[in-house]
Amino acid sequence: MVDSQTWLDQNYPDNGLCIRVEDSENYNKPRNAIVINLDISNQNLKGNLQLGSSFSKLKKFNCSFNKLTELGWGSLESIEEIDQSHNQINGSKDIQSKFAPNLKKLNFSDNYISGFNLSTPKLAYLDATNNLLTSLVLNSTSNLVELKCSNNSISSLTLSKSFNLVLFDCFDVKLVTMVPTPTSSLSSQSTSRFPTDVMKLM
């Protein structure tokens, strides 16, 4: 196992050029020139990883299949996709739009996260399966079309107004409170995935 922050700072130095030869797309670039994709998945990384604002132009970030216990985004104004699945990230998270205003796709499945509060208006795809979630709050996420939150213990799920979900996969999730607004709509494909007791609330 390798400390994730040490590994990142060595291979992508804050005040230097990328020395990671395997990353041909970003090799010999400074952090602020890494624009399209940063993939550090399957690198046997552990511990707390802080990206920081020096990756300000990054659009896609993948750190899946490691042993991270914490991931700090800093302010990533250009980020559109983040895959932090299959790690050991735990605790409750609160992501506000000012930190990731252009985030469209987030995958934090297969972790140990107990609560998540998201206020990211451009978010369209969210995968939260296989966590320890008891609460999932999706405020200001009116563009969300796909939500996966199976295999959790969610007792409180809050959806933002003007919802138009195409896929809602909540298998094995006990939903106690769910308050969609009158303007919400769900396709026939997605409503078939709702438990009977949830359908009564709609």
Kindly report, residue by residue over 150-183, the tens digit of the pLDDT: 999 888 788 776 567 888 888 777 665 554 444 4
Stretches in the chain below the pLDDT threshold 50? 179-202
Q: How many domains does the chain have?
A: 1
Given this model, what pLDDT does residue 181 score? 43
Given this model, what pLDDT does residue 193 score? 42
CA dist 83 and 133 (Å) reads: 18
Given this model, what pLDDT does residue 58 score? 95
C-alpha 77: how far from chain center: 15
Q: Write the DSSP symbol of residue 55.
A: G
- Look at residue 3 and tell me if it is in a domain: no
Paired tokens of 10: 């060595």
- Look at residue 16 and tell me if it is in a domain: no
- Look at residue 127 and tell me if it is in a domain: yes
Q: What 3-state DSSP class applies to 118?
A: strand
- Look at residue 148 and tell me if it is in a domain: yes
- The CA-to-CA distance between both ends of the chain, in Å, stands at 48
Given this model, what pLDDT does residue 158 score? 82
Contacts by residues 126-130 (CB-CB < 8 Å, ≥ 24 positions apart): 127/85, 128/152, 129/169
- Look at residue 77 and tell me if it is in a domain: yes
- Look at residue 11 and tell me if it is in a domain: no
Paired tokens of 119: 């206020």
- Look at residue 60 and tell me if it is in a domain: yes
Q: What is the CATH number of the domain that holds 126?
A: 3.80.10.10
Q: What is the domain extent for residue 80?
A: 33-199
- Look at residue 21 and tell me if it is in a domain: no
